[in-house]
Amino acid sequence: MTETSIEIETIEDLTNNLVEVKNNILNGHIELERAKEFNNTAGKILGTIKLQLAYQALTLAFKSRSMSVPNIPYLESPKCLTGE
């Protein structure tokens, strides 16, 4: 894993990168501080995904009850709603 080659497009990419970081820690190929920063960033990405999924569930629940859906512009982006 080199700094310029890390690309995360899917949750599988993130998982694979986290496993690679873990292996590099165990093999002594990565500084612990760098690994901590990568893991911290991964946690923030996962937190954002969790928020997007919760918003989707809330939106579906409101719509199924014919209720007005809360308007949260940031979470209204097509990327957020479709995962694309």
3-state helix, strand, coil in the chain (%, to 5): 75, 0, 25
How far, in Å, CA of 51 to CA of 70, rounded? Answer: 14
pLDDT given for residue 59 in this prediction? 86
pLDDT given for residue 80 in this prediction? 55
pLDDT given for residue 82 in this prediction? 53
Question: Which of residues 69 and 16 earns the better pLDDT score?
Answer: 16
As to burial, measured by CB atoms within 10 angstroms (0-12 exposed, 13-18 middle, 19+ buried), residue 18 is middle
Q: Which pTM value belongs to this model?
A: 0.66
Task: Give 19-68 pLDDT, tens digit per residue.
Answer: 999 999 999 999 999 999 999 999 998 998 898 888 888 888 888 888 88
Per-residue confidence band for 3, with pLDDT thresholds at 50, 70 and 90: low
